[in-house]
A and B are shown apart, each in its own frame.
Chain A
Amino acid sequence: MRKADIVSAVILFVGGLITIFVIIPLQTTEGEKYGLPPAFFPTCSMVVLTVLSALLLLKGLFSSNKDTDPPAPLDSRSWLNIGLLSALLFLSLAAIKYLGFIIGGILMVASFMIYMRERRLITISLVSLITPLVIYIVLWKFLRILLP
């Protein structure tokens, strides 16, 4: 966990500096002379974040309880898992966008079920077909919401 804290503190610290000195000036206007400029509040919050990240980094570097440190929260299996699941989610979003909610939804539910090691074809077919269909029909019939 200590190593993870150090790495995340470094990322946050560098990200904070880039945001303060590059992103905020580029993405905000000067504002009027009266009152505070639009950049004031985002800058304040980012300064707080950057300073705290620096403190977290120092705390991680000079931490005394190295022996009792809990294990790293993210191992290679976690990275693979979140990578695959993120890809699945964005592919499902693209499928919903281009093929519509029902087909995209069927693909999404089926792929998640397969990923979760469901191997019964009938269960996969029924659940992945029924769920998006029921959601679509209920929302349209009762709430007049048309899904894509």
Chain B
Amino acid sequence: MGMLQQYGILFGLIIGVIGFVLSLFALNRAIGKSRIELAKDVPATAGKLSRDPVWVRYHARYYGYALLFLAFDMEMAYMYPWAVVYKEVGIVALLDMGVFLLILFLGLLYGWSQGAFRRQ
């Protein structure tokens, strides 16, 4: 089978799952009963609508982590192709990635020493 067909299967699987879920919803509509009751669709806040709006700006206390996450996630993306060809390229690959990793690791240690991982 060609590569395109392999990806075709994956696409088909995702479409199939979505179709399966939608048919479950349809089945649910067909056999389930719906009662009309007062306030049944109020969110779980002790029976009353919440006083304050929920969709507000919220202080995410881990933004420091999020920034570090971006740096490391990008590095990880580079490491995947590197790891596959690593054995053929040999010692040069080790040194290249070693320097790259070292810089990031020092960055991690620096962030750590400056309290980036403290609870804010």
A is bound by B: no
Chain B residues at the A interface, C-beta cutoff of 8 Å: none
